[in-house]
């Protein structure tokens, strides 16, 4: 019996009253609680009132055989473990009763009373073990049911494999999640499974490492499935000396979300690092094509004058040519509602076309078919309710609509719209600043300089009057006149700096020449301007930005580079305008990443506004070269509000 449990109760049924008393006495000495009965009726009556842990039953009773008592107890669902007591010569009957459920049997011989306590103890111990085993099995059954319920509720796939890579067991919530028919899995070696070769190799290595180290191994892999490629994460855990459990989780949605987020971050980074959309557009088109598997990207801008969409940028992977398609794209224009770009413009929302070749609204099906283009989608570039442009993408595969991608592109379209508006405001602020500087420069030149000139004239008159009277104050009056002339000169220099470029096309050359002369005069260094042939810049805004770039570069060379010689050159080779500022100073750092001055950022911004490129590089030996290059007609691209 279990420790700290009450002693077992034993009912002895025997018609021999003398033997019955001896049996009861012997059992009480062993610590058992006992009860006795000399007939079947008396035994049944006692069992109706009490519970016995064990029954010692004589098979031959005066009123009924012992087997009848067992049968009656079974009828009333009172199954009491029993030991059969039989006389010598009745062993065959005892064996038959044993087959019907007796725990053991005793023969009434001379050694009966000696062996009886041991048989009772052994039987009770066996019954206790059986009880404990039944309790444990019930608990195990309940645990198995609980864990089976948990397992069935898990969306993960689970596989049990041996060291050799053979599948021993598996769990799958849905058969569609399996890469092979469920009836073929058990017994198959992982090397013969439909997993990609790289995933098979990684799995075999992970199984060996998990068994050798006892540590969990994890890896990710992609699997082509009928519904499309899926991404999985596998975790391999040792579950015995030569077995592992592999838990496989479908992470397709997570990977797609991560991919969408990385693409959106890349687009945001491209916008943040660009001064204009013309600079950011190729990067945005490239990011979406490369990371999302599209083959051709187009950027369409709304021309506010003609109210038509015009293609301003395209991108496709190197090595892939869409010559015929591109030949149609570049000169094409779309009105609202016409073609994929026009439909996106008219509806103000994203549109997905699984196959443009079969789409009745698509305007270029023949060209698309020749180039092998099928799937397409477009999304608007929005600023509030206004469509500023449209971006379209094409794929050589038929692609089903992806709502998550469309939502992401809608967000990117709004980002681009906000970027355009921000850059427009920045450009407007810069233009207003230039106008204000010009106004202040004109006020200084036409107002303050004239006022100072009057003071100078009056000082000269005062000097002459004092000199005629031989007064000692004559020298002071002359000094006042000199200081006023100096103030006039400085005020004119300020005026030229604030409004350096006159409206004539030659104004940039004159302004740069004055900049060189003034730098040489103020800083006492060699500063020359070189222009072998006249360079005419008809756009005063462009000329002003070029002058400001040169002004900033000269200031950096003198103040930061400690240059002793600065050369400004202006040239116009091959319908380009090239402005260069070279010095012999300390030079720029190896990388410009750590240069945080606003001047460099403003130079880049000014260059981008006029559609120019700006390069800052080290000169041979020492020094720095700042080179700004632009087309002779840079203003053409500014017709589009998106650029």
Please report the pLDDT score of residue 476 as a whole number. 80
Please report the pLDDT score of residue 243 as a whole number. 93
> Between these two residues, 304 and 442, which has the higher pLDDT value?
304
* Lookup result for tokens 């009490």: 50
pLDDT at 642 over 50: no
Please report the pLDDT score of residue 495 as a whole number. 64
Does the domain at 501-643 match CATH 3.30.565.10? Answer given as: yes
Q: pLDDT-based confidence at 387, cuts 50/70/90?
A: confident
pLDDT at 465 over 90: no
Taking residues 61-67, what's their average pLDDT? 84
Whole-angstrom distance, CA of residue 296 vs CA of residue 394: 5
Q: Extract the tokens encoding 574.
A: 């091959």
> Between these two residues, 307 and 592, which has the higher pLDDT value?
307
CATH classification (class only), 154-250: alpha beta
Q: pLDDT-based confidence at 503, cuts 50/70/90?
A: very low
What's the angle, vertex CA 174, arms to CA 169 and CA 178, rounded to 5?
A: 60
Taking residues 249-274, what's their average pLDDT? 85
Taking residues 118-126, what's their average pLDDT? 88
Please report the pLDDT score of residue 130 as a whole number. 84
pLDDT at 215 over 90: yes
147-161, 200-214, 509-523: lowest mean pLDDT where? 147-161
Query: What value does the mean pLDDT of the chain take?
Result: 82
Q: pLDDT-based confidence at 235, cuts 50/70/90?
A: very high
pLDDT at 76 over 80: no
Q: pLDDT-based confidence at 115, cuts 50/70/90?
A: confident
In contact, 72 and 65? CB cutoff 8 Å? no
Please report the pLDDT score of residue 200 as a whole number. 92
Q: pLDDT-based confidence at 576, cuts 50/70/90?
A: confident
171-175, 497-501, 576-580: lowest mean pLDDT where? 497-501
Whole-angstrom distance, CA of residue 83 vs CA of residue 5: 22
Taking residues 76-94, what's their average pLDDT? 74
Q: pLDDT-based confidence at 241, cuts 50/70/90?
A: confident
Q: Would you report the helix, strand and coil content of the chain in percent, each value rounded to 5?
A: 50, 20, 30
Asked whether the domain spanning 260-428 has the same topology as the one spanning 154-250, the reply is yes
Please report the pLDDT score of residue 192 as a whole number. 93
Neighbours of 134 (CB within 10 A): 10
The CATH architecture assigned to 9-148 reads 3-Layer(aba) Sandwich (3.40)
Taking residues 152-162, what's their average pLDDT? 79
Whole-angstrom distance, CA of residue 404 vs CA of residue 216: 34
pLDDT at 501 over 60: no
pLDDT at 2 over 90: no
Please report the pLDDT score of residue 581 as a whole number. 94
Taking residues 70-85, what's their average pLDDT? 80
Whole-angstrom distance, CA of residue 3 vs CA of residue 6: 9
Q: pLDDT-based confidence at 4, cuts 50/70/90?
A: low
User: What are the DSSP E strand ranges found in 67-205?
Assistant: 82-87, 104-108, 157-162, 167-171
Q: What percent of the chain clears pLDDT 90, i.e. is strictly above it?
A: 16
> Between these two residues, 203 and 518, which has the higher pLDDT value?
203
> Between these two residues, 299 and 491, which has the higher pLDDT value?
299
Q: What percent of the chain clears pLDDT 70, i.e. is strictly above it?
A: 88
Taking residues 154-170, what's their average pLDDT? 88
* Domain ranges for the chain: 9-148, 154-250, 260-428, 430-499, 501-643
CATH classification (class only), 260-428: alpha beta
In contact, 365 and 359? CB cutoff 8 Å? yes
CA distances from 33 to 2, 46, 52 (A): 15, 14, 10
Q: pLDDT-based confidence at 1, cuts 50/70/90?
A: low
Please report the pLDDT score of residue 168 as a whole number. 92
pTM assigned to the model: 0.54
Q: If residue 567 lies in a helix (H) or strand (E), which one and from where to where? A: strand 565-571
Please report the pLDDT score of residue 601 as a whole number. 77
Q: pLDDT-based confidence at 153, cuts 50/70/90?
A: low
């Amino acid at each position: 019996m279990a420790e700290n449990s009450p002693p077992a109760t034993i009912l002895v049924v025997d018609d021999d009253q003398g033997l019955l008393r001896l049996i009861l006495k012997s059992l009480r000495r062993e610590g058992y609680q006992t009860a006795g009965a000399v007939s079947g009726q008396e035994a049944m009556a006692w069992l109706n009132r009490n519970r016995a842990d064990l029954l010692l039953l004589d098979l031959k009773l005066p009123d009924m055989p012992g087997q009848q008592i067992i049968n009656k107890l079974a009828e009333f669902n009172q199954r009491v473990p029993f030991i059969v007591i039989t006389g010598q010569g009745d062993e065959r009957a005892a064996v038959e009763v044993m087959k019907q459920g007796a725990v053991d049997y005793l023969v009434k011989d001379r050694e009966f009373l000696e062996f009886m306590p041991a048989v009772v103890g052994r039987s009770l111990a066996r019954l206790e073990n059986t009880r404990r085993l039944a309790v444990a099995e019930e608990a195990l059954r309940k645990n198995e049911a609980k864990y089976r319920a948990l397992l069935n509720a898990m969306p993960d796939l689970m596989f049990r494999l041996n060291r050799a890579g053979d599948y021993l067991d598996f769990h799958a919530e849905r058969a569609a999640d399996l890469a092979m028919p469920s009836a073929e899995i058990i017994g198959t070696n992982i090397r013969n499974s439909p997993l990609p070769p790289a995933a098979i190799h990684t799995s075999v290595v992970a199984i060996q490492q998990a068994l050798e180290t006892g540590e969990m191994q994890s890896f990710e892999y992609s699997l082509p499935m009928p519904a499309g490629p899926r991404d999985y994460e596998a975790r391999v855990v040792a579950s015995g000396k030569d077995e592992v459990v592999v838990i496989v989780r479908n992470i397709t949605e997570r990977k797609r979300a991560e991919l969408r987020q990385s693409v959106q971050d890349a687009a945001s980074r491209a916008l943040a690092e660009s001064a204009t959309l013309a600079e950011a557009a190729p990067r945005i088109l490239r990011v979406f094509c490369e990371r999302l598997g599209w083959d051709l990207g187009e950027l369409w801008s709304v021309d506010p004058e003609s109210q038509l969409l015009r293609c301003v940028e395209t991108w496709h992977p190197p090595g892939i040519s869409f010559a015929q398609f591109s030949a149609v794209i570049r000169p094409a224009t779309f009105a609202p509602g016409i073609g994929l770009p026009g439909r996106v413009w008219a509806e103000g929302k994203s549109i997905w076309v699984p196959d443009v070749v079969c789409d009745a609204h698509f305007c270029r099906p023949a060209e698309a078919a020749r180039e092998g283009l099928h799937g397409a989608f477009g999304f608007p570039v929005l600023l509030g309710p206004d469509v500023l442009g449209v971006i379209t993408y094409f794929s050589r595969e038929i692609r089903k609509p992806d709502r998550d991608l469309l939502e992401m592109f809608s967000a990117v379209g709004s980002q681009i719209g906000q970027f355009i508006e921000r850059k427009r405001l920045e450009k407007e602020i810069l233009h207003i600043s230039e106008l204000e500087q010009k106004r202040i420069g004109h006020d200084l030149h036409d107002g303050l300089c004239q006022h100072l000139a009057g003071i100078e004239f009056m000082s000269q008159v005062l000097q002459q009057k004092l000199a005629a009277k031989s007064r000692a104050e004559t020298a002071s009056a002359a000094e006042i006149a000199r200081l006023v002339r100096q103030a006039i000169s400085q005020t004119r220099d300020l005026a030229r700096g604030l409004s350096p470029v006159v409206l004539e096309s030659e104004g940039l050359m004159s302004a740069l020449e004055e900049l060189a002369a003034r730098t040489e005069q103020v800083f006492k260094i060699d500063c020359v301007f070189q222009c072998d042939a006249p360079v005419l810049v008809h756009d005063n805004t462009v000329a002003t930005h070029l002058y400001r770039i040169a002004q900033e570069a000269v200031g950096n060379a003198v103040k930061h580079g400690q240059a002793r010689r600065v050369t400004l050159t202006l040239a116009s080779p091959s319908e380009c305008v090239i402005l260069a500022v070279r010095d012999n100073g300390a030079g720029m750092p190896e990388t410009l990443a750590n240069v945080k001055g606003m001047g460099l950022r403003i130079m880049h911004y000014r260059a981008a506004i006029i559609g120019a490129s700006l390069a800052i590089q080290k000169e041979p030996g020492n020094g720095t070269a700042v080179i700004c290059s632009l087309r002779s007609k840079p203003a053409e691209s500014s017709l589009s509000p998106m650029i």
